């Protein structure tokens, strides 16, 4: 009998989706283009939580057809599964949560992950859920503990662990409080409320202990036994290896491996980023991935309404051909 990752690997081609409040900023603030990736705008600009939330409430307005936009785009390219950011590092959740009211259901009365999960299940597209399990710029006790970033002076640097040090300058961070009050409960919600989940995808591990990583794994497997967990959960608690961003293997690795590639330079939507890969290039990347016995997760950054850019559509359509 095939193991669960081999079944996933046989699908070969997935879509990564970075979507959230940062999509409404579209890479600019106050008429000025920001440096760095669009989804990191809150961190790069040191935007206070109150300002970020006020902007999001006013400007983050997904279309009623947001889930159809994404699934239709995936099907055009022959994509077999997708992975969406249910909560990125800004801490805002696209799903209904009892653990935090900083979510789309509270703002909009919509569980965007349920909408997408329903569309995926209807259209036969596998469902993967990204969750930022250590970084969370909305929470004081999210990752960035001093003990991992001690610079020899006994004091953590101001950007310690890439946490929110502008709203929370105190370095006395209790990651365990965040883990048990928000992270673990929300991961259980994601594994419970959306039918079959093929992948739980974690990112940017900081401060999580080995015991906590395996507690997270056990909670997922108890609810979704066949769900595959990527290596960025940390401490060897994953089922397969996610390579570094925009990295490709040059030969078969001998391990279950996934490649993450963006269509342009950023992951979340950035209106000024026009450095699009040609369809021939993305098709070559897919072929190189397959040659290395790996799977490709090709990233798209939807616009604020959830629709894909014309350039994204053109690339996906040509890859499908």
Query: What pTM, to 2 d.p., does this model score?
Result: 0.93
Other beta carbons within 10 Å of 193: 16
Residue 91 CA: distances (Å) to CA of 44, 53, 100: 15, 10, 10
181-227, pLDDT tens digit by residue?
Answer: 999 999 999 999 999 999 999 998 888 999 999 999 999 999 999 99
Q: How far apart are CA 220 and CA 10, in angstroms?
A: 22
Q: How far apart are CA 258 and CA 250, in angstroms?
A: 13
Of 62, 170, 137, 42, nearest to 107 by C-alpha is 62
117-139, pLDDT tens digit by residue?
Answer: 999 999 999 999 999 999 999 99
Of 294, 312, 292, nearest to 77 by C-alpha is 312
Contact by Cβ (8 Å): 127, 117: yes
Instruction: Please tell me the predicted confidence (pLDDT) of residue 159.
Output: 46
Instruction: Please tell me the predicted confidence (pLDDT) of residue 99.
Output: 98
- CA atoms within 13 Å, Cβ hemisphere of 288: 16
Instruction: Please tell me the predicted confidence (pLDDT) of residue 258.
Output: 93
Q: Is 135 helix (H, G, I), strand (E, B) or coil?
A: coil
Instruction: Please tell me the predicted confidence (pLDDT) of residue 1.
Output: 36
Pairing mode, if any, of strands 28-29 and 32-33?
Answer: antiparallel
DSSP class per residue in 52-120: HHHHHHHH----TTHHHHHHHHHHHHT--EEEEEEE-TT--BSS--SS-S-BHHHHHS--HHHHHHHHH
Instruction: Please tell me the predicted confidence (pLDDT) of residue 8.
Output: 53
Contact by Cβ (8 Å): 114, 194: yes
Q: How far apart are CA 306 and CA 112, in angstroms?
A: 10
Q: Which residues of the chain have pLDDT under 70?
A: 1-10, 145-161
257-270, pLDDT tens digit by residue?
Answer: 999 999 999 999 99
Instruction: Please tell me the predicted confidence (pLDDT) of residue 3.
Output: 64
Extract the tokens encoding 136: 């969370």
- Where are any strands of DSSP class E within the chain? 13-17, 28-29, 32-33, 81-87, 126-131, 199-202, 228-229, 241-245, 257-262, 295-300
């Amino acid at each position: 009998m095939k193991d669960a990752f081999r079944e996933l690997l046989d699908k070969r081609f997935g879509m990564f989706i970075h979507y959230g409040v940062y999509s409404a900023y579209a890479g600019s603030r106050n008429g000025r283009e920001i440096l760095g990736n669009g989804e990191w705008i809150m961190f790069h600009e040191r935007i206070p939580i109150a300002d970020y939330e006020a902007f999001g409430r006013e400007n983050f307005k997904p279309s009623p057809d947001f889930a159809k936009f994404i699934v239709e785009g995936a099907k055009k390219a022959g994509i077999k599964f997708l992975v969406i950011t249910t909560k990125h590092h800004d801490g805002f959740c696209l799903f209904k949560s009892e653990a935090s009211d900083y979510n789309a259901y509270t703002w909009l009365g919509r569980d965007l992950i349920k909408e997408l999960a329903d569309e995926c299940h209807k259209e036969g597209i596998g469902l993967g859920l990204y969750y930022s399990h250590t970084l969370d710029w909305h929470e004081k006790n999210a990752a960035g503990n001093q003990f991992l970033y001690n610079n020899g002076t006994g004091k953590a640097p101001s950007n310690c662990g890439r946490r929110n040090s502008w709203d929370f300058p105190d370095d006395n961070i209790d990651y365990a409080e965040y883990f048990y009050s928000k992270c673990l409960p929300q991961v259980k919600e994601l594994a419970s409320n959306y039918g079959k989940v093929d992948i739980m995808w974690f990112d940017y591990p900081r401060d999580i202990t080995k015991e906590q990583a395996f507690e997270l794994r056990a909670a997922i497997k108890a609810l979704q036994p066949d769900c595959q967990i990527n290596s960025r959960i940390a401490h060897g608690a994953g089922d397969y290896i996610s390579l570094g961003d925009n990295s490709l293997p040059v030969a078969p690795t001998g391990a279950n491996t996934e490649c993450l590639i963006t269509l342009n330079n950023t992951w979340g939507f950035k209106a000024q980023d026009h450095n699009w890969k040609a369809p021939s290039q993305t098709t070559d990347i897919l072929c190189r991935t397959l040659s290395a016995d790996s799977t490709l997760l090709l990233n798209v950054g939807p616009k604020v309404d959830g629709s894909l850019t014309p350039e994204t559509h053109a690339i996906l359509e040509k890859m499908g051909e």
